[in-house]
Chains A and B, each alone.
Chain A
Amino acid sequence: MLQGALDMLILRSLVIGPAHGHTIAHAIEHGSDRVLQVEHGSLYPALHRLEDRELVASFWGTSENNRKAKYYRLTPSGRKMLAAETSRWEQLVRAIGQVMATD
């Protein structure tokens, strides 16, 4: 999985609101109808990197079933980064689609 894409997916899944790693992992998996099978463990280094770049911020909270979990939320610069990445991705998709559609 392209690392850049993973970062973007994580940021996207936080748009609705803060979530912890488990939720994010399942959101990506289910949101893509199980097409994107991310090894759930590999999410955490990515989250860690995003936190170091200050695109997300973390805090410890309680989950739905009363477990302690580390929550992440988007920071303003995270939001900006998401917007930039999204438009870049759409550009890319359009370009590939154009090439693939020529015949």
Chain B
Amino acid sequence: MAWTRFFRRNRRDDEAAREIASYIAIETDDNIARGLSPQAAHDAAVRKFGNATKVREEIYWMNTVRPVDTIWQDLKYAARLLKRDKGFAAAAILSLALGIGANTAIFQLLDAVRLRTLPVTDPQELAVIHFPRGSKLSGRFSSRMPFMTSAQVDELRKQRLDDVFSGLFAWSSLQLNTATGGEVRNADTLWVSGETFDVLGVRPAIGRLITPGDDRPGCGSPPAVLSYAYWQRAFGGSPSALGQTVRLDGTQFDIVGVAAPGFFGVDVGRQFDVAIPLCADALLPSSRGRIESRGNFWLAVVGRLRPGQTVSSATDRLIAVSPAIMAATVPDGYTSEGQKQYKDNKLNARAASSGLSDLREQFAQPLFVLLAATGLVLLIACANLANLLLARATARQREIAIRLAIGASRLRIVGQLLIESVLLAVVGTVLGMVVARALTTILMAQLAAGMGSLFLDLSWNMTVFAFTAAVAGAACLLFGLAPAMQATALAPVLALKAGGRGISEARGRFGLRKALVVAQVALSLVLLIGALLFGQTLYNVLSIDAGFDQQVIQVELSHPSLQPEDPVQLQIVREDLRQRIAAAPGIADAVLVNNAPLTGNWRNEYVFAEGKPDKALANFSTVGPNYFEALGVPIVKGRPFSAADTLNAAPVAVVNETFAKKFFPDREVVGNQIWIEVAEGTPVTKIEVVGISRDTKYGDIREDFDPVVHLPMAQNSDGRLVRILVKPRGRMDGVMATITREVGRANPAISIEMRVIGQSVRDGLVRERLMAALSAAFGALAGLLAAIGIYGVMSYTVTRRANEIGIRLAMGASRSGVLRLVIVEAVWLVGIGLVIGAALGLGAANAARSLLFGLQPTDPVTIGAAIALLATIGFVASYLPARRASRVDPMNVLRQE
């Protein structure tokens, strides 16, 4: 009932007005009948009625829900005020939108990457079983994460761990080619053990999922399960997909089902297109023999903890059973020392409710740093807004004083001022969500370029929304409450005094504004320092000289015809392809390699050198004879490979400068011998070093130069892919098409995968690029906001001290003296802010030191530059009001007294 009345209240009010008018009219008539003049009659009637406004008000308040009505009125009033002051409103809303939007965008990414739990049943029960950091394992690895071998997983299953885990599964991921020749078309494949979907509690959308019965040794006719997204994309979501086949790496798989929507696997940041059982590794032509190989760490293992078990109790059990597992799974070819080291490794458990993630390893810390930065930006924006609102509140001082004097409660007025802030915050937030969406899209595109493929669930959810609302609310309170409280704190008497100087003299309130500016300057300096440090880092990283020409294309070719058993045949086949490509137009040279630098493929071994008792690790690269010339790597001593280094000739190697320094520090290198460590009983092959090459980067461009041994292709052939580095003659365009054409002429069924090394490297620097770009943007924004803040406060100072300045000028002070006066005050404010900011900035830089490259967090040049930059901004921002002060006409000012 109350609400119906509420919505009709205006109509009721009209009716009441009419009723009152009707009374007045009737009484007036009566009075006229008693003999009064019309005017007197009317006046008497009005008097008789009493206070018409009060009556109307009373009736109005009976019809309405008081708090709602109050707020609604305040909102309308606030909106009107803001419309009048469009400049202020625009500036305020814009800075809020940018601050809130940036925070929301970064938080959204952080939430998707780190915080959100997996969309499976009871993710909090999942635990990763792994070798912790620092474990001594060597062999082939699929990624940075500490996986296990098939043999180890089998042994693990044999241990009686049913009381700890209700289920265990293993998985791996890899891209497989779905095309049948020509350029590769990859599908993200998830390899799963039979119980995976069961343990995770994933349901099929249609058909069935992979079961333990599908994951048998030998595999039979293996099934494939599509992801929901891939099913929509490649099969249009049609149920006829069941029963069709999908071709992976040349092998047919029957599609038996589609996973429920939303399930993307266990690796946050990746999604899968097709899931196949682990046993399928034996069937693929390019099978790397991962199941049989005891040195191939390709499986990630996850277990579901039973109720009552914790990660630490699981770890204890795993440590206890580790010796048995390791002893039973020692890979072949280890020395006795290597075997001992292997057996000492222990398995641990770690919580996996939010999945495993390569993405998270790389980006969690940068994202946190960015979140802190956006938080600072928001704080600075709020400080600005608070200052602006303080200024407005001061301007309305009279109005507020009058209201207080005639009986308004302080609470009511504070409420009204707060509503204004709330209105600004709401509009700013709505706009901020738009900004957030745009920013997220840009960030995702940047990340995706660097990570290969990227998939994150970035839909709005309650967490993100709650975060945004909390941020907006906090901002609102921050910048709205203080001005509101301050504005109503003054006794009305002081405010209403003629001349109004009472307010402006109140030191306390101006202290708040000054403090805000100091805070702004300090926080802006922190952001500027960050921006310059990350910018310098990016520059350093981009300027790293890799030691070779990165503008070459790595071409990977695969096909059964390229893997003949006979090594002589193998050489011929490869050389044929190489020559075809090298002879094509637009191509300067082509080089066969086993692993190209900076492409994520590596091989390392323990090496002994003649005259050096201790062995040490060195990286290995098997390359064709024209390698050094093609990549522009100079030979500083000795000779490169030549046609004489054939399969039957003496084994030779070319080492790099770092190797030479490390293994032959005080001896002649060229002519000496090195050999690779092998298991006891295996014959050692001694290799003669024939040349030293200039250092080149091997694995990651950010790492220092490693010792590298180059071996000639003719004497070492392994690997199942043919890799050729192609150097274009002149421009890069069209070269890839040329390569595809030439390979197609040899055999159109060969799969081709190509990428430019320089581009890959640049893409891989996405973390540095992201930090540099974003921190620069935030730094610039902060600087701008600080400038506005300083300008605003100095402007106000000048206005406030206009009288004083006028008097000084009238008494003979020079204009430049006045200028100096104002500037000095600004210098104080900015100076204190810079000192505080420098201290904070150094602390922050130290915390983020792992994200820097090539410079210390306390780099004096960078910090000095940031301070100088902000000091300049501060100076310029205060110069304009100062100049205005010096132009004050004393007569004008004094007359106003």
Contact = CB atoms under 8 A, between A and B. Distances in A.
A41 B48 CA distance: 8
B101 to A, nearest CB: 48
Interface string A37-53: 00111101100110010
A91 interface: no
Interface string B1-45: 000010000000001101110110111010000000000000000
Nearest to A49: B62
A40 B62 contact: no
A68 interface: yes
B55 interface: yes
A48 B58 CA distance: 10
* 4 tightest Cβ-Cβ pairs between the two chains A and B: A41-B50, A39-B50, A41-B55, A45-B58
10 contacts: A21-B23, A40-B23, A45-B58, A48-B59, A63-B26, A65-B29, A67-B25, A67-B29, A68-B18, A70-B15
Contacts of A79: none
Contacts of A49: 62
B679 interface: no
A22 interface: yes
Nearest to A65: B29
A70 B22 contact: yes
A45 B62 contact: yes
A65 B29 CA distance: 8
Contacts of B55: 41-42, 44-45
Given A20-B22, A45-B58, A69-B23, 19 more contacts: A20-B26, A21-B19, A22-B22, A22-B23, A22-B27, A25-B23, A40-B50, A41-B49, A41-B52, A42-B50, A44-B19, A52-B5, A63-B26, A65-B26, A67-B22, A67-B26, A68-B22, A69-B26, A70-B15
A97 B687 CA distance: 131
Contacts of B58: 45
Contacts of A39: 49-50
A55 B58 CA distance: 19
Nearest to B25: A67
B507 to A, nearest CB: 49
Max chain B C-beta neighbours (<10 A), residue from A20, A41, A42, A49: A41
B194 to A, nearest CB: 73
A33 B23 CA distance: 21
Given A65-B29, A67-B29, A40 B49 contact: yes
Contact of A70 (B19, B25, B54, B59): B19
A26 to B, nearest CB: 9
Nearest to B51: A41
Given A52-B5, A70-B15, A44 B26 contact: no
Nearest to A48: B59
A65 to B, nearest CB: 5
Nearest to B49: A41
Interface string A50-81: 00100000000001010111100000000000
Contacts of B52: 41
User: Interface residues of B: mostly helix, strand, loop or mixed?
Assistant: helix
Contacts of A68: 18, 22
Contacts of A65: 26, 29
Interface residues of A, number: 19
Interface string A6-41: 000000000000001110010000000000000111
Contacts of B26: 20, 22, 63, 65, 67, 69
Nearest to A64: B26
Contacts of B19: 21, 44, 69-70
Nearest to B62: A48
A44 B62 contact: no
A37 B802 CA distance: 60
Contacts of A41: 20, 49-52, 54-55
Contacts of B15: 70
A22 B15 CA distance: 15
Interface in B483-497: none
A74 B469 CA distance: 53
A44 B49 CA distance: 10
A48 to B, nearest CB: 5
Nearest to B33: A65
A102 B59 CA distance: 44
B584 to A, nearest CB: 94
A24 B632 CA distance: 110
Contacts of B22: 20-22, 63, 67-70
A49 to B, nearest CB: 7
Contacts of A70: 15, 18-19, 22
Nearest to B54: A41
B54 to A, nearest CB: 7
A44 B25 contact: no
B50 A48 contact: no
A69 B25 CA distance: 10
Nearest to B12: A48
A14 to B, nearest CB: 16
Contacts of A25: 23
A65 B33 CA distance: 11
A68 B23 CA distance: 10
B100 to A, nearest CB: 44
A39 B50 CA distance: 6
A52 B54 contact: no
A68 B51 CA distance: 22
A82 to B, nearest CB: 22
B466 to A, nearest CB: 41
Max chain A C-beta neighbours (<10 A), residue from B16, B18, B19, B29: B19
B145 to A, nearest CB: 72
A40 B55 CA distance: 10
A65 B58 CA distance: 29
A69 B22 CA distance: 6
Contacts of B49: 39-41
B16 A44 contact: yes
Nearest to B48: A40
B61 to A, nearest CB: 9
A14 B27 CA distance: 20
Max chain A C-beta neighbours (<10 A), residue from B5, B54, B58: B58
A73 to B, nearest CB: 15
B2 to A, nearest CB: 10
Nearest to B19: A70
A45 B489 CA distance: 37
B872 to A, nearest CB: 67
A41 B53 CA distance: 10
Interface in B563-584: none
A84 to B, nearest CB: 23
Contacts of B23: 21-22, 25, 40, 44, 69
A22 B48 CA distance: 11
A26 B29 CA distance: 14
A18 to B, nearest CB: 15
A57 B58 CA distance: 20
A80 to B, nearest CB: 20
A45 B16 CA distance: 9
B59 A45 contact: yes
A27 to B, nearest CB: 13
A52 to B, nearest CB: 7
A21 B27 CA distance: 11
Contact of A52 (B20, B27, B50, B62): B62
A22 B58 CA distance: 18
